[in-house]
Structure 1
């Protein structure tokens, strides 16, 4: 299941300009026709995503997984797709002018009538063109899981987008969680799952935006109320 809905992306584009969705799961998501110029989709999962007619000029799709993605008529001018997996992708009529496809996997991709003027296709070609050693590709920033026990709260938890926050509790009933935005995006933390942990019960949240929120957790029996801040960069 994708980390975002189409409406969430549209809202973020309208309020925050270019998107930073490094490593996000956007598989099977309808993004057709969206204005994604300058978006950072490095290491994102775009398999089976619908990007038909989307504008991705100057976007970064380094090492993105875009198998069977539908990108017909998309504008990818000056986009960076180094090491991207475009196996069986539909790139018919796409604009790939001065696009960097260094090391990209293109077997089975349909590039019929696409524009490839000035496109870089391999490491040696790129090195000769700019008179520099072959590009060193950036290392992915893996999402981390931050664990917090309700019995030992902290004042502040610092996270990156796509990181997960695991709130553990020992009481019988789960706490009621109230999130208050202090600054930043409309949605900074999103509740994604409940479940039994190894020794305690837990609530799981994922950081989906940049900003700071105050988390207040109170238990129905009134035994404990805690408050702490989460800042996502």
Structure 2
């Protein structure tokens, strides 16, 4: 219940800042209604078709994701709509939404910039990339710009260690970053342009920067250096 009240207070505050209208938590619950759009209702129906009805709870995370993509964040009413759809206790849905860092329980910016600072990225300048983002966007971790354009996050291990340092903008990964490429990315986002994702130093994926070091020749044909074995059908008994 304490988690629920904290969530209501954060939504309450965000709405007051955005509208200048004072509302209590009960009013917020009434005014922030949520219903899946027609397209998302079809997505939800198609997703639930993969689950026996008794196991619809297994679809909790993907349904929360659909709701967040529709609303931009997860209000209490959106979490309740998901819980009602899969017939579970709303508190269980709320606890899951609070636990996973990809869900936002308060309004977020149009572009969520998540910088990896786990060990491989830290060794390759991840901390410097995060500090440069803080300075450029004038934000700390978890904060959002007043124009709702950017939200900044410090994240841990995005699974692209060989291309460190890396950051994500919403669903897109930007790898092999340096000060210049970071500045170009943020400048493009300020102009509402999403730059091409992937490595920013000319690499295609995770290949060596100096070119291939193995598999540089055509592989030998099947049977290469294999011995010819006698046919067991012609072998005489001793």
TM-score using structure 1 length: 0.29
More helix by share: 2
Larger of the two Rg values belongs to structure: 2
| Bigger relative contact order (CA 8 A; separation at least 6) | 2
1 or 2, which has the higher strand percentage? 1
Give TM-score, length-normalised by structure 2: 0.29
